[in-house]
Homo-oligomer: A and B are copies of this chain.
C-alpha cells in the first residue's frame, strides 16, 4: 500500500544528512521509483529510526535529511533459531518468516543427516534486511556462519537455554514448556534436518543441561514448518506477542 519505504542504512546517525551509497540510490530510483522530495524512513538497530526526506538522488548517490526520530535504538531479544541447513528455497522463506516472527539470531548448523552442501550467508543477510524493512523491525537479525552441531554446542553461551523440537522420545508438549517459561532469560529454538537428528546427536542433546525437548503435536512437521511454528508459538506466548504494531 502507500506506506513510506523503510530503508535499513548502516551507520551512526542522529540528525542532519545521511549519505546513501550507489546501490541504495539505484534501488530508490529504479525499484521504488522515488525522487528528491519524497519521504523515506531510515533505520538501524544502533541509531534508531527516523522520518527523512530525500534531498538529492542521482545515479551514483543520494542524500536524506533526517526530520524526526520515530524510534529509539534497540534490538529485539527474541529467541535464536538454530536450524540444520535446508535447501535454498525453503531456507530463504524460513529466514524471511523467522525475521517477521521476532527471531534474535539465526544459526545454521550442519548435522550428520544434513545433505545441503553450502549456505550463502551474504544472501541470507540480504533477505533478513529486506524482511526487517518490510515487517517494521528495527534490527535485521545476524546470520551466523554455519558450523557443525558439535562445534555449535562447544561454543554455546552458558546461559542460553534450548528448546529442542524433537520428533519423538523424551519431550513435553511445546505449550506446556511455554506456559512456565522465563521469557527474561535467553532462549534458542533448535530444529534438525529433514531426516531428523542421528541417534548419537540426540543422545548428546538429551544429555545437555541446557536442552529441553518439546513436542509439536501429532503430525510429522517438515524442518522449516517446525521452526516457524515453534517461533510463532514462542512469540505469542511471550510479552512481545502482546504488543501491537505501532500506528503508522
Do A136 and B219 have beta carbons less than 8 Å apart?
yes
Do A173 and B242 have beta carbons less than 8 Å apart?
yes
A237 at interface by CB-CB < 8 Å: yes
Across the interface, A219 reaches (CB within 8 A) one of B219, B242, B245, namely B245
Proximity bits, A207-248, B CB within 8 Å = 1, else 0: 000000001111111100100111011011100111111110
A146 at interface by CB-CB < 8 Å: no
The chain B residue sitting closest to A98, CB to CB, is B225
Inter-chain contacts of A236 with B (CB < 8 A): 173-175, 178, 216-217, 229, 233
Interface range on chain A (Cβ under 8 Å from partner): 35 or more
A37 at interface by CB-CB < 8 Å: no
A101 at interface by CB-CB < 8 Å: yes
Do B222 and A100 have beta carbons less than 8 Å apart?
yes
Inter-chain contacts of A135 with B (CB < 8 A): 219-222
Inter-chain contacts of A107 with B (CB < 8 A): none
Determine how close the nearest CB of chain B comes to the CB of A65; give it in whole angstroms: 26
With A93-B93, A196-B1 known to touch, is A217 a contact of B229 (CB < 8 Å)?
no
Across the interface, A228 reaches (CB within 8 A) one of B97, B215, B246, namely B97
Question: Bound complex: CA of A137 vs CA of B217, how far in Å?
Answer: 11
A39-72 with Cβ < 8 A to chain B: none
A67-124 with Cβ < 8 A to chain B: 93, 96-97, 100-102
Determine how close the nearest CB of chain B comes to the CB of A248; give it in whole angstroms: 9
A181-224 with Cβ < 8 A to chain B: 195-196, 215-222
Across the interface, A167 reaches (CB within 8 A) one of B100, B137, B245, namely B245
Q: Which of A96, A215, A233, A236 has the largest count of B CB atoms less than 10 A from its CB?
A: A236
A155 at interface by CB-CB < 8 Å: no
With A228-B229, A242-B173, A242-B176 known to touch, is A217 a contact of B97 (CB < 8 Å)?
no
9 A-B residue contacts at CB 8 Å?
A93-B93, A100-B222, A101-B217, A136-B219, A175-B241, A175-B242, A217-B242, A218-B243, A232-B232
Q: A96-B225, A168-B247, A218-B244 are known contacts; what are 20 more A-B pairs with Cβ within 8 Å?
A: A96-B222, A97-B222, A100-B219, A101-B219, A101-B221, A101-B225, A101-B229, A136-B219, A137-B219, A167-B245, A173-B236, A173-B241, A175-B237, A215-B244, A217-B243, A218-B245, A218-B246, A219-B245, A233-B233, A233-B236
